A and B are shown apart, each in its own frame.
Chain A
Amino acid sequence: MAVLVDKKSRIIVQGFTGKEGSFHAGQMIEYGTNVVGGVTPGKGGKDHLGKPVFNTVADAVEKVDADTSIIFVPPRFAGDAIMEAADAGIKVIICITEGIPVQDMVKVKAYIEDKDCRLVGPNCPGVMTPGEAKVGIMPGFIHKKGRIGIVSRSGTLTYEAVDQVTKAGLGQSTCIGIGGDPIIGTTTKEAVELLMNDKKTDGIIMIGEIGGTMEAEAAEYVKMHGTKPVVGFIAGQTAPKGRTMGHAGAIIGGAEDTAAAKMKIMKKCGIAVVKSPADIGKTMLKALEKAGKLKTKKKTTTRKKRTAKK
């Protein structure tokens, strides 16, 4: 089984009938994702995009056995939506919403701590297991089923990495967008750990950015328990101190959360750190080769196939 989501995941969409929710739920269904329904308070009993709408997450769990939820609820209600999903027994909660107040997330994090669930996000592109489930807002067509796991705090930069991996003739096992907020559910380390223990993953790409200490913790984990090649990149090498760079969590507070400091620790822990984001794909290829996890012949054929297609 893949990491976090696969073809058996029973997915509901919170904020199902809203503009964002409708659009992306449609895209997910089109990709072949197993969307079993959605939740919009007050619209229970109706059908939307050919799937049942429920008033509460608890109803969706009871009636259609939902075990995974993706949240498109506006920021002021999103914290509440996460807690509702956790309370109803949803196992994987993926929150796309950007702009949730930090103090709301402080409470949410404490609330879900004892619950048997995993939160991914908020402020993230979602989770993608190519060929099985697209639970997010990422463009499906750039992905290809394969054996590289990707962990990232950003959206379009993740797509960039995905695209490079696909163009390098490799593919992705699962891509986890963990989110750009100061408080998020699944940390870099936890996501790396999931992929490290996944039998379908041969190599891991870890994309971080300035702010916080998550990448350092992940690097320490890789040093202690790493069994697969890891390629790393930190965005914001040129970011000034004390300014929020788009993502609420991307702000340099002290000496430890600069890009340079993080890259140094990652390197020390055995991660192949790239300075340029243009080198992610080719560095992964090299790292796999070095680890003996690449059949060179196979690589060339896939490459040729792709060019032929074009």
Chain B
Amino acid sequence: MNLHEYQGKELLAKFGVPIQRGKIATSASGAVKAFKELQKETGTKWAVIKAQIHAGGRGKGGGVKIAKSQKEVKQHAGNIIGMMLKTPQTPGGLDGPGKLVRKILIAEDAYAPDFDACKEFYVSILMDRQRKQNVIIYSTEGGMDIEHVAETTPHLVHKEYIDPTLGLQSFQARKVAFNLGLSGTAFKNMTKFIANLYKAFVQSDASLFEINPCLKDVKDNIIAVDCKVSLDDNALFRHPDLAAMRDTDEEDPTEVEAKAVGLNYVQLDGNVGCMVNGAGLAMATMDIIKLSGGEPANFLDVGGTADAARVEQAFRIILKDPKVKAILINIFGGIVRCDRVANGVVDAYKNMGNIKVPIIVRLQGTNADIAKKIIDESGLEVKSAILLKDAAAAVKKALK
């Protein structure tokens, strides 16, 4: 689960990580009000208006603007709220439709009063799958695309691995601060920043913290100016406050609906829908669709119980996508009996009445033969198969 920048900053602030302060607004007039309050609280002269969507590179698409007066705040806020913001990370990239901006963050000017006297760094924390440890990745090259920095100047990207049982040690925080070239007050502030940031990461069960830029301001404060926070979905049971931050507006509506009924669904661009039990088999089924000349329209794992109600829910979700020209159901019945799934498919089909796309049902495993008979004798426009290669051939035929 991803957080918005403003939510991520709330989380960091709770753990004593200094942040660029700001207020959230959903309208131009609200933005002006927020700006006035922010000026009172922080003494900031200017404000940065930042679109709050779940994607990076917002500045490139015009989603981040500096406002030097109330008039400019109103103007920029009016332009940004309601815009379809395109960034390299929104669906389809800069050529795609973009993402609707519903909220903006009115943030203080952390670079005042002397932009050139400030210094931007890059700091992130994530779990390294190979080492099975958390790692702090940091660089003097802040404010830039870190993948580009790692490619062109790998010696400027540092890594600090954290012992899982002992946690972050003082010397490690000092090492980070020294390697970033800091001294004096800025050095002390950075060690504190790193220590609190790591605490926040572990205690919120995060999977990614990316602070870019992490700023040294004119007073040697270390401040998170932007932050990207992803949380481990499997750990949300420990964090009801964080779970409540989920913004379903940022997610695909069909995916949200599928999740609500317990289906694991990912929307894709293709023309063949699929319904599968098990994640690995679901991915393999997508691959089969491609090899049969189609493109997968979705990933859908129905999980362990594939009864009529569930199959019907899955059908309804797949058929929401007008691009779907055929549906491949691929169930390997182990504990689930294939005949029950077959009955589920037939009942769901009858309940729904008007399915206009060809359906290929491949049922293998417990009672596969009985299941095939049920499908074949149902009188429905459904092709049955037992072997995966036969199912693939049927998909190919259906697409012709």
Physical interaction between A and B: yes
Binding site for B on A (CB under 8 A): 75-76, 99-107, 109-111, 137-139, 141-142, 152-160, 163-164, 180, 182-183, 207, 209-213, 233, 235-240, 243, 245-250, 259, 275-279
Q: For residues 234 through 287 of chain B, which have their beta carbon under 8 Å from a beta carbon of chain A? A: 234-235, 237-238, 264, 266, 268, 270, 276-284, 286-287
Question: Are A102 and B388 neighbours in the complex by a CB distance under 8 Å?
Answer: no
Query: Complex Cα distance A155/B291, Å?
Result: 22
Across the interface, name the chain B residue whose C-beta is closest to A254: B147
Query: Complex Cα distance A277/B399, Å?
Result: 20
Question: Are B291 and A239 neighbours in the complex by a CB distance under 8 Å?
Answer: no
**B residues less than 8 Å from A101 (CB atoms):** 205, 232, 234-235, 238
Question: Are A275 and B291 neighbours in the complex by a CB distance under 8 Å?
Answer: yes
A80 to chain B, nearest CB (A): 14
Stretch touching chain A among B72-80, B127-135, B219-227? B127-135
Q: Is B213 an interface residue (CB 8 A)?
A: no
Question: Are A153 and B365 neighbours in the complex by a CB distance under 8 Å?
Answer: no
Across the interface, name the chain A residue whose C-beta is closest to B132: A109
Query: Complex Cα distance A238/B282, Å?
Result: 11
Selected from A99, A141, A182, A277, the residue in CB contact (under 8 A) with B388 is: A277
Q: A75-B234, A100-B234, A238-B295 in contact; A154/B279 too (CB < 8 A)?
A: yes
Q: A103-B202, A238-B289 in contact; A137/B334 too (CB < 8 A)?
A: yes
Q: A101-B238, A142-B365, A246-B282 in contact; A159/B287 too (CB < 8 A)?
A: no
Q: For residues 343 through 400 of chain B, which have their beta carbon under 8 Å from a beta carbon of chain A? A: 364-366, 387-389, 392
Question: Are B332 and A250 neighbours in the complex by a CB distance under 8 Å?
Answer: no
Q: A106-B134, A111-B165 in contact; A159/B234 too (CB < 8 A)?
A: no
Q: Is B301 an interface residue (CB 8 A)?
A: yes
List 22 contacting pairs A-B, 8 Å CB cutoff, sorted by A: A101-B232, A110-B133, A137-B334, A139-B334, A154-B278, A154-B279, A155-B280, A155-B281, A156-B334, A157-B283, A159-B365, A160-B281, A160-B284, A180-B279, A213-B129, A238-B283, A240-B266, A246-B282, A246-B283, A250-B283, A275-B291, A278-B387
**A residues less than 8 Å from B287 (CB atoms):** 235-238, 259, 275-277
**B residues less than 8 Å from A107 (CB atoms):** 164-165
Question: Are B279 and A247 neighbours in the complex by a CB distance under 8 Å?
Answer: yes
Besides the known contacts A106-B134, A139-B334, A160-B364, 8 further A-B residue pairs in the complex with CB atoms under 8 A apart: A104-B235, A109-B164, A210-B283, A236-B287, A237-B286, A240-B268, A246-B280, A277-B288
Question: Are B332 and A156 neighbours in the complex by a CB distance under 8 Å?
Answer: yes
Query: Complex Cα distance A139/B281, Å?
Result: 15
Question: Are A137 and B335 neighbours in the complex by a CB distance under 8 Å?
Answer: yes
Top 5 A-B residue pairs of the complex, sorted by shortest distance between their CB atoms: A154-B280, A246-B279, A156-B278, A101-B235, A139-B334
A27 to chain B, nearest CB (A): 8
**A residues less than 8 Å from B291 (CB atoms):** 275-276
**B residues less than 8 Å from A153 (CB atoms):** 280
**B residues less than 8 Å from A158 (CB atoms):** 280
A194 to chain B, nearest CB (A): 20
**A residues less than 8 Å from B264 (CB atoms):** 246
Across the interface, name the chain A residue whose C-beta is closest to B269: A240
Question: Are B284 and A102 neighbours in the complex by a CB distance under 8 Å?
Answer: no
Query: Complex Cα distance A104/B233, Å?
Result: 13
Query: Complex Cα distance A278/B389, Å?
Result: 5
Q: A76-B237, A110-B165, A238-B287 in contact; A180/B387 too (CB < 8 A)?
A: no
Q: For residues 288 through 311 of chain B, which have their beta carbon under 8 Å from a beta carbon of chain A? A: 288-291, 295-296, 299, 301
Q: A102-B232, A106-B127, A183-B129 in contact; A138/B281 too (CB < 8 A)?
A: no
Q: A109-B132, A157-B284 in contact; A138/B334 too (CB < 8 A)?
A: yes
**B residues less than 8 Å from A278 (CB atoms):** 288, 387-389, 392
Across the interface, name the chain A residue whose C-beta is closest to B296: A238
